[in-house]
Amino acid sequence: MKTPKPPIKIAIKDNNCCVKSPCPICGRIVDPDAGPQLFMADTWEPVCEECAEKHSPVIFNIWAKFQRRSSFARAFQDCRYDGDQYVHQPPEKP
Ligand SMILES: [Zn+2]
């Protein structure tokens, strides 16, 4: 009888080293940004989005929601209250 492969566990970890490396599942190069990213649960190997979605859809969905919220937050930082409305006004480049 074949022993079943251990399940692939994927976790969201706060990335602070940004090392480009191959996804341990499919081998695709993953280049994670700083901040919460998808990793193998027991190591710091970054997992690509496709594998995370396939093997751990719940974790992937939480992460994807966070990504949308943080990009919304970034966009909102560039908004200024102008009279009675918010306008999008990115900071001027020095
Ligand atoms: Zn992968």
Ligand 1 centroid to Cα of residue 30, in Å, is 8
CA angle 49, 52, 55 (to 5 degrees): 150
Ligand 1 centroid to Cα of residue 72, in Å, is 26
CA angle 62, 51, 43 (to 5 degrees): 80
Give dist(CA 52, CA 88) in Å, integer: 34
Ligand 1 centroid to Cα of residue 87, in Å, is 39
Ligand 1 centroid to Cα of residue 15, in Å, is 17
Distance of CA 59 to the CA centre of its chain: 10
Task: Report the pLDDT value the prediction gives residue 71, as an integer from 0 to 100.
Answer: 73
Q: Mean pLDDT for each consecutive 10-residue tract of the chain (94 residues)?
A: 77 83 96 89 93 95 86 72 74 70
Ligand 1 centroid to Cα of residue 62, in Å, is 18
Task: Report the pLDDT value the prediction gives residue 59, as an integer from 0 to 100.
Answer: 94
Task: Report the pLDDT value the prediction gives residue 50, as an integer from 0 to 100.
Answer: 97
State the DSSP H helix or E strand holding residue 64, giving kind and residue range, or none if neither: helix 57-77
Going by the DSSP 8-state scheme, the letter that residue 3 receives in this structure is P
Give dist(CA 91, CA 48) in Å, integer: 32
Task: Report the pLDDT value the prediction gives residue 7, as an integer from 0 to 100.
Answer: 80
Task: Report the pLDDT value the prediction gives residue 67, as an integer from 0 to 100.
Answer: 84
Residue type, 77: Q
